[in-house]
Structure formats: structure tokens, C-alpha cells
Amino acid sequence: MPAQPRTIAVLGGTGAEGGGLALRWARAGHRVILGSRNPEKAAKVCADLNAAAGVDSIRFLDNRAAAAAAEVVVLTVPHAAQRATVEEVRDALAGKVLIDATVPLVPPKVSRVQLPAGGSAVAAIQALLGEPVRVVSAFQNVSAHALRDPAHDVDCDVLVCGDDPAAREIVIGLAHDVGLRAFHAGPIANSAAAEALTSILIAINIRYKVPGAGIRITGVPAAPA
């Protein structure tokens, strides 16, 4: 069991990245709720993730109800749906930590850095929500492919950006719970760098024909795994 079991809503948890995080957190002993627009799809994904994680604790609700039921909310929807999804659940986010894993990819050139005006997709959400919600940027550089294979550890580190150090600490703890080293990486504005890095990792995946290149931070031996 994790040091502090939490109820975590993963909005878009039926997808690749959110499903991988949900699986790993459920396996670690957290209570996970998938948020979805589609109950039939969510029921099937929920059953698959419970089976893969070897648990029966993962549940699903619509995005709004999932966000309301959780103490920590995770956003894993495509960039095009990021703002609308946040607007839909906004009332349920006050006082909570919102972990946003959004990468502002612009298909079809997803291996090219194309950040939105203002620099960071996640910082824009913190600006939208204001002080009542502590937005933390994390997991942009963790490949869904690696997360979805519970037989193997995920071979990369996590950059955690946010304006509230205590909220970053919560997210670092959640990363540690699934065996990932995670680092305080500065304020929410720094999320731009993590978001941009993902296109570089995609370019590396394509060039070297691998499914999930990742990053490692060196020179910080004390950071726990």
C-alpha cells in the first residue's frame, strides 16, 4: 500500500496515457476512478485495466462525477479537448490538485515542437482556473506504451512543474508510488520545456524505431526512486 492511499480521478482514463497511469496507481493501492464521456467504452476499459492490474478496485464515472469524487484529478485527454474538459469539471476542482499531462501536439507533425501562444498548454489551464486549483504539470515525458506493461518498470524520470511546492510534492509522491523518480522542476511556466521535450522523444522514437524513449536526470543521487 502507498504511504497515503488517495482517491484519484483520471479524466480520459480510457485512453493510452490515462489508462497506464490508472493501472499503475491501482496496482500500488490507490483508489482510481476513470472519467469518461462514454459508459460502454469505460466499462470495457475498466474491466481490462482491473484484469491487467490484478485488482478490482478501478471504477468509472462521467468526467464531472469522477472529478467530484476524487481528491486528486488527473487530466489525460488530447490537447484539442483539454480546455473544454477542464471547463466541464471546473466546479469540482476547487481546493484540489489537478495533474495535467497534456502535450500540445499538432498533428500531423507531432515530432516537431509547436507550443501554443503563451508557451505552455498546462500553464494556460492554471491561468484559467486561478488560485482555487493547484495545477501541476507531470508525466508528459512518460510513454503510455511503457506504463501499460505492468510486467516492467518504467525506465524514465518525471519532471514536475507547478507554482505550489506542496502540490508538486503530492505529485512526486504519486510518481514514486509507481516506481518513478520525479523531480521538482520549477513553476508551472516551466511546463513548456516538458511539453516541448515530448516532441523530441517522439522524433527519437521514430529515428531509432523504439516505442517509448524517455529522459533521465543525472547529478541528483539523493532523489528517491
Ligand X SMILES: NC(=O)c1ccc[n+]([C@@H]2O[C@H](COP(=O)([O-])OP(=O)(O)OC[C@H]3O[C@@H](n4cnc5c(N)ncnc54)[C@H](OP(=O)(O)O)[C@@H]3O)[C@@H](O)[C@H]2O)c1
Q: How far apart are CA 110 and CA 105, in angstroms?
A: 5
Backbone phi, then psi, for 182, in 5-degree steps?
A: -135, 150
Span from 142-150, 154-162, 165-173, 184-192 in contact with ligand X (CB under 6 A): 142-150
CB of 221 to ligand X, least distance (A): 26
22 versus 172: smaller Cβ distance to ligand X: 22
Q: Check binding of 102 to ligand X (CB under 6 A).
A: yes
8 versus 77: smaller Cβ distance to ligand X: 77
Q: Check binding of 105 to ligand X (CB under 6 A).
A: yes
Give the number of other Cβ atoms within 10 Å of residue 130's Cβ: 9
| Helix and strand counts by DSSP (H, E) for the chain | 8, 8
CB 67 within 8 A of CB 36: no
Give CB contacts under 8 A, 24+ apart, made by 207-213: 211/143, 211/145, 211/146, 212/143, 212/144, 212/145, 212/146, 212/156, 213/143
Reply yes or no: is the peptide bond before residue 224 cis, omega within 30 of 0.
no
CB of 14 to ligand X, least distance (A): 4
Interstrand relation of 31-36 and 7-11 (parallel, antiparallel or unpaired)? parallel
118 versus 131: smaller Cβ distance to ligand X: 118
Q: How far apart are CA 176 and CA 126, in angstroms?
A: 24
Q: Check binding of 77 to ligand X (CB under 6 A).
A: yes
Residue of 50, 76, 120, 199 that binds ligand X (CB under 6 A): 76
Q: What is the DSSP letter of 90?
A: G
CB of 222 to ligand X, least distance (A): 26
The binding track of 7-26 with respect to ligand X, each residue x by CB under 6 A or -, is -----x-xxxxx--------
Span from 37-45, 50-58, 153-161, 166-174 in contact with ligand X (CB under 6 A): 37-45
Binding site for ligand X (CB under 6 A): 12, 14-18, 36-38, 41-42, 76-79, 81, 85, 101-103, 105, 139-140, 142-144
